[in-house]
Amino acid sequence: MNKKALLAFAIAVLIPLISYFWVKEASDNATIMPAHYLPDTVINHIEKGKMTDDTVWHKVANFHLINQLGDTVSLYDLKGKLIVMDYFFTSCRSTCPMLTQNMLKMQQSFAKGGDDMSTPDSSIVQFVSFSVDPETDSVARLKKYADHYQIDPDNWWLLTGNRDSIYNYAFQELKVDKFDTIPINPDFVHTTRFVLIDKKFQCPWLL
């Protein structure tokens, strides 16, 4: 087996495996505050004669966007789940197919019974992909893209809607520019990183 074949095999095997344990660990340790959480405010108060600081961690706001089935969905519909997000657009021919394939492997790793062909267990985790080109990515285009990759719509939303709403959400709520090592263009939000939101809608935690 040549080097290219070995590399391709390693990527195909390791990415879903690492992703599975990453999300599973976050689920098992949901009460532990990861280092990547951002504080919104720090409240000072006196307790037993001593000044004490309480940190209010960043909680992402709700959104209302349209998925690949034409349904209006919201983040707060996903109470009690871990949420994995990314950014893509259907006409992308560079990193988006890789992101989608990796997200698909993550979704399949949560299939009931461990069978890649069975239905993913939607009680644990939800996958969300925001289009960074919502003017082009209509519901019909998202549906065609989803069908091409055999994406389960119950467990993975491909979202379109108002461009300003999607972009403001990326920077103001998900804080995608805070931890990414590569600067993100505010006029075209695109990152190869995934965003993990915990069951309390706190974030960001980027992988």
Q: What average pLDDT values come out for the chain (207 residues) when binned by 10 residues?
A: 48 49 49 53 65 71 96 94 93 92 87 58 87 96 96 93 94 78 76 86 66
Per the structure, how many domains does the chain have? 1
pLDDT for residue 94? 86
pLDDT for residue 120? 63
Give helix then strand counts, H and E, for the chain: 5, 9
CATH number at residue 12: 3.40.30.10
CB 130 within 8 A of CB 170: yes
Residue-range definition of the domain harbouring residue 51 = 3-206
User: What's the pTM?
Assistant: 0.72
- Count Cβ atoms within 10 A of the Cβ of residue 129 and give its class: 0-12 exposed, 13-18 middle, 19 or more buried: buried
Residue-by-residue DSSP string for 118-137: S-B-TTTEEEEEEES-TTT-
pLDDT for residue 177? 75
